[in-house]
Chain A
Amino acid sequence: MTHATLEVRDLSHRFGDRQALDGVTFEVRPGRLTGFVGANGAGKTTTMRAIVGVLAPDSGRVTFRGEPMTLDVRRRIGYMPEERGLYPKMKVAEQLVYLARVLGVPRETARARARELLEALGLTERAEDLLHTLSLGNQQRVQVAAALIHEPEVLILDEPFSGLDPIAMDAMAERLRARAEAGVPVLFSSHQLDLVERLCDDLVLIHEGRVVAAGEARALREERAGRRYRVVVDGSPGWAPVLAGMTVVEAGERGTVVDLDEAADPQALLAAAQQAGPVGHFSRVLPSLADLFAEVAR
Chain B
Amino acid sequence: MEKQYKTIGEDAWKNNVEKVNAELFIFTYGSLVVQLVKDYEDYAAVNKQLDKMGYNIGVRLVDDIMARTSLERCSGFTATAEVISKVGFKLFLNVAPSVASWSADGKEFSLIVDDNPLNDFCELPPKAVQDGLWYSNVLCGVIRGALEMMQMQTEVEFVRDVLRGDDTSEIRVRLLRMLDEEVPASDD
B partners with A: no
Q: Which chain A residues have a beta carbon within 8 Å of chain B's beta carbons?
A: none
Q: Which chain B residues have a beta carbon within 8 Å of chain A's beta carbons?
A: none
